[in-house]
A = this chain, B = another copy of it.
Amino acid sequence: MQKQQYLTKNQQIVLDLVEKSSEPLKAYSILFNVQKKGLKAPLQVYRALDKLVEIGKIHKIESRNAFVACKNSSCQVSKATAFSICESCEKVTEINNSKLSKYLTNFEDNSGMKYNKYNLEFFGLCKKCKNK
């Protein structure tokens, strides 16, 4: 069996919406927005989201239960993600820093556990909100 090459219709509809958005989208907000396109039930959206996360097209912002499109073209699989989150305006940006990803990908602690995935979320105030 081969790895899926093309997105299904539902996956494409959800991906298009998330990619167009300038901010993280919540599952039920996605649902609301794709109802005119025929996705009527939560599960249809969740299934598409699950797949898109799995193949790295989108990421889940865990602390916000929201989804963003991956901005990193080389990010085929979602296994090393870092985000900055403004606690005031909730702006979320994917951090693309090779030093950071290298450091974390190679990180080993004394537990003998080898990590194959990580997710990092930084919180603070973005430039705009800091100057308010």
Contacts and interface: CB of A to CB of B under 8 A. Distances in A.
**Total copies of this chain within the assembly:** 2
Contacts of A103: 103
A38 interface: no
Contacts of A117: 87, 122-124
Contacts of A113: 84, 86, 122, 124-127, 130
Interface string A22-42: 000000000000000000000
A100 interface: yes
A95 B119 contact: no
Contact of A115 (B63, B115, B119, B124): B124
Interface stretch (A4-12, A13-21, A104-112): A104-112
